[in-house]
Amino acid sequence: MLCLQTLWLIHEPANEVYFLLLIFFATLLSYNTHFWLAARKSKASRQLIWFSKTKPLTVAMNAILLALVCWLLWQMQHLMLPLLIAVVLNAAYTAPLLLNAPLRLPLLFTFVKSYFIGFAWAFVTVVLPVWHTNSVFDTNVLLLLAQRFMLVSLATLIFDCRDRQLDQQWGVHTPANCFSPPQMNRFFLLNLLLYGGLLVAQALLTQESHPLLQLLLLPLIWTLYQKSISATLALPPRWPIQTDHLRSSAPPMFPLEICKRIRLALSSKIFTLET
């Protein structure tokens, strides 16, 4: 849907069936592969348990999806380079699941996880459609890329809030378990206001009203964020922590100093948001 929206916003014909099918099948293959590999390391959720119990079905489905992606890509070979970049971005998130030995990541890497996912989604849903249609990477496209990046990052931060106890048990440091609840409220609000500012900037630049309509999403995003806090997931006591490949290492001084400065800024009197 996001790719379809991009095609519409850049005023290109939205009847690119092969392209949309390629993105759909590639995304499904990516998610199936990620959770299939994750299920080999942990069974800490119903989703991972399902993938663990249905390995033959998952492998067969992934083989079919891979064949479809390869066939569709053969029809659109001009997308080979950007799709390769998208594969690298996805592999950077999924590849650690292939390792048997633990992979200890610096705090800074896990802290910006939400923004990394936001960038990957923005690349696939904005850069790929623009590349496919040979459109110009003008200011309008760059603003669209930035607001899509913020939208997906906000969505990922919501899931991080829901999973903050689980991430803390795994040793994964995200904003949700690095900040106190009041600080996290302010941090999320800053990201939400930045997203709204990008929508207003795009509306002023294009002289169109549809970015302003997306401002209606802001109260919904804030409501979902609040609900995610009360829907926190944690590991049941019976689940042993075995996924050391997800743990982050003791933070070096530079990332630690960044986090301290962010916490200090969010605790300052400039922000008066009620918790």
- How do residues 199-241 score in pLDDT, each as one tens digit? 999 888 888 888 888 898 899 999 999 888 877 654 444 444 4
CA–CA gap between residue 80 and residue 86 (Å, rounded):
10
Least confident range from 71-75, 155-159, 162-166: namely: 162-166
Residues 31, 12: Cα–Cα separation, whole Å: 28
Domain boundaries, the chain: 2-266
Q: Residues 54, 125, 14, CA angle at the centre, nearest 5°?
A: 105
Report pLDDT digits (tens) over 17-70. 888 888 888 888 888 887 777 777 666 667 777 777 778 888 888 899 999 989
- pLDDT greater at residue 92 or residue 186: 186
Quick one: pLDDT at residue 170?
A: 65
- The answer to whether 48 touches 39, Cβ cutoff 8 Å, is yes
Helix axes 80-94, 113-122, angle to 10 degrees: 160
CA distance 131 to 165: 40
| Contact yes or no for 154/224 (Cβ under 8 A) | no
**Taking residues 167-190, what's their average pLDDT?**
82
User: Rounded to whole angstroms, what are the CA distances from 104 to 38, 180, 259, 270?
Assistant: 16, 24, 19, 36
pLDDT at residue 213, rounded to an integer: 86
Tell me the three state secondary structure of residue 248: strand
pLDDT confidence of residue 234: 47
Which amino acid makes up residue 231?
A
DSSP summary character for residue 45: S
